[in-house]
Amino acid sequence: MSAVRCFAVALALTMMTVWGAHETTALAVNPIRRVVSLLQNMQKKVEEEGKKEKELFEKFMCYCKNGLGDLRNGIDANEAKIPKVETALSEAEALKEQLDKDVAELKGSVGDAKATIAKAKGIREKEAAAFAKDSSDKKTNIAALKKALAAIEAGAAGKFLQTATESMNTLQNLVINSDMRSTDREMLTAFLSQGSGYAPQSGEIIGILKEMLETMEKELTEITAAEEQTIKDFEALIAAKEKELNANTGAIETKIERSAEVGLEIVEMKEDLDDSSKTLLEDKKFLSELEKDCGTKEDEWNTRCKIRAEELLAIGDTIKILNDDDALDLFKKTLPSPSLLQTQTTSLAVKQRVWTMLKQSKSDTRLGLIALALRSTAPKVFDKVIGMVDEMVALLQEEQVHDDEKKKYCEAEIDKTEDEKKTLERKVDDLAKAQEEGQETLANLGDEIEALSDGIKALDKQVAEATKNRKEENAEYKEDMANNGAAKKILELAKGRLAKFYSPKSAAAAASLVAVGLHDLGSAAPPPPPETWGAYKKQTEEAGGILGMMQMMISDVEKEITESKTEEKNAQLEYDQLMKDSGEKRRMDSKMLSDKESAKADLEKALQKMAKEEKTTKFEVMTTAETLKDLHLECDWLLNNFEARKEARAGEIDALKKAKAVLSGAE
């Protein structure tokens, strides 16, 4: 409303008050002073409204300043952060690739070290077995040589040749297998082949035997020293390889753990990079919109300040004009006389009653138009005022309907928006909790996958070792069977040859034949032969013992062959069952590993989706909060003042209706 219009309305209200008062009262009040007072009140009200609007504008601009500053700082921080994160991500990916490569190389080194240890142990076992056999043979030969030398030096060569069967056999084998001159071998062979009546050339034979003894003792010392050195070298090699194995195993565990940590850091950096990039785009967009809104608001404020200044200037100029002394004197001369007021007492009384009723309502500038209409002296002026009152009542009722609808809209929208905000906040919490649980499940799946993978590798290693052992056992079994078969044949051949000479059945048959021949001859038997030496006495008793021992040895070999076959059969059955069980376990573990890896991949995708959804939901929460804030800015004043406005509007309508009734002639 312009200053001129405000002045006209105030002047009309003042004049109505003057006309409706008693003559003495109307003459006692200076109407110009009252108009000035009203103008001053208007001026004060405009200034107060300007102060309130300035506070609101300053708050808004403070929000703009802080918001713009925070957004710009956030944009600068993200623009500086993104290249650093990208660089760190590249470095982390390169580090993980190098760690995985190192782990593969270390695993290869571990495998080589284990293979070297296994190979060294196999060689050591064979060397130890060879040394044990060689040293045992040499010790046996040395003992036989010493025993033979002692007997020969004692002059009991014949006795030695007759009784020391085992030592003599050992010497015979030694002579046959020894590296010596042919003449020495022939001499020793002849010596060992003679009977008890042999007169040995002991000096030369003793020399040969001592030379053989020295050579064998020297060889035993050499192979013993070589075995001790081999054992030291083997132990040093095993210690070095085990040290290397332990170091590489520890390094593998450390690098695998570090690789897992770097992998997690890579995932986090990728998520951080994605979040920062999206946040940067959103912040730039929001900054542009906020700069536009703040600039528009500042332009609006400048326009309002200009209009308010013009309004205050108009009011101030009006007050200045009316307060001028010349103007006051002029108004005294031009104001209506009391006689004119008295002639209009009846009409003015009605107008005064109407105005009194209208004043009971809250001040509304639109009532000034009715006041101006009441001031008119035209015929049927009340009809015109009644029409204006009806229009005013209809307008107020429409305003009330608008307020009712706006209140209903505000309450519904605020409740709806608050519910949406709470729902979104709960969703954010649920997503965060779900991600936390998902990360825990993901870690458990990783541990389970690693355990299954290690278990499969260990199972494959066990199967490989079992297969290797089975092959070695089978080869050893075949070798033992061949050796046992050959030993059995040799024992049976030796037994047959010995039994052919010492067989008790042959001796009995021969004795029976002699007895029968003597019986047939009767008394015609020739005289006994001349006595020379007794009959040849076989070593039948000793041979019987030897034959028994050979049979026991044959039985032992047969028993060992039977046991070996049974053990081989059982070992093969156990190996087949192990392969079957291992294959089934590997199949089940591989399927479980595949399922868990698939579940892990699905969970990782779900976590990425939840992270994106959480960020989107947080943005929706922020947007909903802004919407709720805008709703409160739009609605709070109406909701807080609704009842007061409704009550004031109802009072205005009631006053207007009463005024209409008075104008229509009611008491």
Q: What is the pLDDT of residues 588-616, one digit of tens each?
A: 988 888 888 889 889 888 999 999 998 89
CA distance 572 to 473: 10
How wide is the angle at C-alpha 344 spanned by C-alphas 342 and 346, nearest 5°? 105
Q: Which of 195, 267, 217, 330 is nearest to 600 (CA)?
A: 267
| Number of other CB atoms surrounding residue 615 within 10 Å | 18
Structure tokens at 536: 């040849």
For position 22, what pLDDT does the model report? 38
Mean pLDDT score, 618-639: 90
Lowest mean pLDDT of 167-176, 361-370, 397-406, 416-425, name the range: 361-370
List the alpha helices (DSSP H) in 360-380.
367-375
Check residue 337 and report its DSSP letter.
P
The residue assigned the tokens 């156990």 is 574
CA distance 596 to 576: 30
**Does the pLDDT value for residue 363 go beyond 70?**
no
Handedness of CA 639, 640, 644, 645 (dihedral sign): negative
For position 268, what pLDDT does the model report? 85
Q: Are 629 and 440 in contact (CB under 8 A)?
A: no
For position 540, what pLDDT does the model report? 56
pLDDT band at 377 (very low <50, low <70, confident <90, very high): very low
For position 284, what pLDDT does the model report? 85
**Does the pLDDT value for residue 429 go beyond 90?**
yes
pLDDT per position as a tens digit, 202-219:
567 777 778 878 888 888
Lowest mean pLDDT of 254-268, 319-333, 471-485, name the range: 319-333
As a whole number of Å, the CA-based R_g of the chain is: 65
pLDDT band at 242 (very low <50, low <70, confident <90, very high): confident
For position 181, what pLDDT does the model report? 64
Structure tokens at 208: 């040969």
Residues in the chain: 667
- List Cα–Cα distances, 472 to 475, 570, 578, in angstroms: 5, 15, 16
Of the chain, the percentage scoring pLDDT greater than 70 comes to 70
Q: Are 443 and 647 in contact (CB under 8 A)?
A: no
Q: Are 100 and 257 in contact (CB under 8 A)?
A: no
Q: Which of 363, 396, 387, 388 is nearest to 649 (CA)?
A: 396
Buried residues in 629-649 as b, exposed as e (16+ CB within 10 A): eebeeebeeeeeebeebeebb
CA distance 511 to 321: 183
Top pLDDT among 388 and 369 is at 388
Long-range contacts at 231-235 (CB < 8 A, ≥ 24 apart): 231/124, 234/120, 234/124
Buried residues in 403-441 as b, exposed as e (16+ CB within 10 A): beeebeebeeebeebeebbeebbebbeebeeebeebeee
Mean pLDDT score, 157-170: 54
**Does the pLDDT value for residue 365 go beyond 70?**
no
For position 353, what pLDDT does the model report? 59
pLDDT band at 503 (very low <50, low <70, confident <90, very high): low
pLDDT band at 325 (very low <50, low <70, confident <90, very high): low
Mean pLDDT score, 494-522: 49
Mean pLDDT score, 105-126: 89
Buried residues in 377-401 as b, exposed as e (16+ CB within 10 A): eeeebbebbbebbeebbeebeeeee
Helix axis angle for 325-334 and 31-153, nearest 10°, is 130
- Residue 116 host element (H or E): helix 31-153
pLDDT band at 7 (very low <50, low <70, confident <90, very high): very low
Model pTM score: 0.34
For position 25, what pLDDT does the model report? 39
Q: Are 370 and 388 in contact (CB under 8 A)?
A: yes
Structure tokens at 32: 């110009």
pLDDT per position as a tens digit, 248-294:
888 888 888 888 888 888 888 888 888 888 888 888 888 887 777 78
Lowest mean pLDDT of 116-130, 167-181, 334-348, name the range: 334-348
Q: Are 276 and 83 in contact (CB under 8 A)?
A: no
pLDDT per position as a tens digit, 289-315:
777 778 787 888 888 888 878 878 877
Helix, coil or strand: residue 531: coil
Q: Which of 371, 259, 349, 274 is nearest to 16 (CA)?
A: 371
Q: Which residues touch 376 (CB under 8 Å, ≥6 apart)?
A: 384
Top pLDDT among 381 and 644 is at 644
CA distance 369 to 8: 10
For position 10, what pLDDT does the model report? 40
pLDDT per position as a tens digit, 34-46:
677 777 787 788 8
Mean pLDDT of the chain: 75
Structure tokens at 571: 């070992």
For position 98, what pLDDT does the model report? 92
Structure tokens at 537: 């006495």
Q: Which of 136, 143, 140 is nearest to 224 (CA)?
A: 136
Q: Which of 633, 634, 642 is nearest to 400 (CA)?
A: 642
